[in-house]
A = this chain, B = another copy of it.
Amino acid sequence: MMRRISIPLEIGKVTVGGGAPIAVQSMTKTDTRDVLATVNQIKQLEDCGCEIVRLAVPDEEAAESISVIKKSVSLPLVADIHFDYHLALAALKAGADGLRLNPGNISDREQIAMVLVAAKERGIPIRIGVNAGSLPANFEPDATLAERMVDIALEQIQVMENLDFNLIKVSLKAFDVPATIKAYQMIADKIPYPLHLGITEAGLPRAGAIRSAVGIGVLLYQGIGDTIRVSLSAHPCEEISAAYEILKSLGLRKYGPTLVSCPSCGRAEIDVVALAEAVNKELEKINKPIKVAVMGCVVNGPGEARDADVGIAGGKGKGAIFKKGKVVKTAVEENLLEALMTEINSAFPNGEE
């Protein structure tokens, strides 16, 4: 995977693009005017690994809340703006580290110019955030969805570049995965700016994470994408955990433990699913990039378990514990979890990696 080269941007303390690690972001689902609830959710997001957080700014009060929220949190804050450019100005004044403008509902060039002047003064990047659900109906009605998303973004980029503004990031999100992939592929060669990837309105966690993984995964595999947001109808930490799983599966980020576990079959002589669930529960407490295998039988068990930092390969009502390729002990089924955790804890003692 060769990464596409893009011009790096600073969103607060986080670099996006230019070969920086792919940043993981989400959005608060609280009322931004409710400062306490929003600060609380941002802190939860920071704890679960979020690196950039976006907040809806539907009115002046929400914009002003940013200045208060900013005092209590350390994650970079991006203001999500629709319809009213005044809200972009107010969010900048309140200290937003980034703006997202939707070209589908802010298109007046003079209004955009005023926002650009204020953003440039402060060195604040702007994401051109296109969404298939909010394209003007009269915008290139005969073109494909991918073309329409690309063209509305290119139009906005042109306006920005004409005013010598280039702190630009772009996203082109749709629910339609092939259209989203096509749109990002088309724009990737046309502009030098970082790309923010996402599949919009992807749904509830189970289906939505899969849909996002396919769309974002195909693009990342092609080297496209500098930051990602998984959109799920769920607590935002579910979005973060899905985002890291996507990145980890392609070897693009390390984050927390990885559990390799077999699906079980008629060959298994231990209860693989129950054991995998129990191990996973223990691993959730360990924030280390450890790879743990739980395997039911001898077919692939020892092979995968050897490849993991620590692993179990099950046998008849018992199992072998492997560590860095060597059997270190065997235990009966009911003691396997404890034996495995003892090895994990000795391999990764507190505070050490």
Contact = CB atoms under 8 A, between A and B. Distances in A.
Nearest to A308: B175
A236 B265 CA distance: 10
Contacts of A205: 206
A280 B262 CA distance: 29
Nearest to A305: B133
Copies assembled: 2
A300 B134 contact: yes
Contact of A56 (B131, B265, B303): B265
A351 interface: no
Task: Give the interface residue-count category, chain A.
Answer: 35 or more
Contact of A177 (B29, B249, B261): B249
B217 A82 contact: no
Interface string A163-207: 000000000000101100100000000000000000011111111
Contacts of A245: 206-207, 210-211
Interface string A21-38: 000000111111100001
Contacts of A277: 204, 233
A231 interface: yes
A55 interface: yes
A210 B218 CA distance: 12
Q: Which of A133, A217, A294 has the most CB of B within 10 A?
A: A133
B201 A295 contact: yes
A241 B303 contact: no
Interface string A43-68: 00000000000111110001000000
Contacts of A175: 260, 304, 307
Interface stretch (A6-14, A90-98, A266-274, A338-346): A266-274
A181 B268 CA distance: 28
Interface of A: 1, 27-33, 38, 54-58, 62, 80, 82, 102, 105, 131-135, 175, 177-178, 181, 200-211, 213-215, 217-218, 221, 231-234, 236, 239, 241-242, 245-246, 248-251, 258-268, 272-273, 276-277, 280, 293-295, 299-304, 307
15 contacts: A1-B178, A28-B266, A30-B266, A56-B266, A131-B299, A132-B304, A177-B251, A203-B261, A203-B276, A203-B280, A206-B209, A207-B259, A211-B213, A233-B272, A234-B273
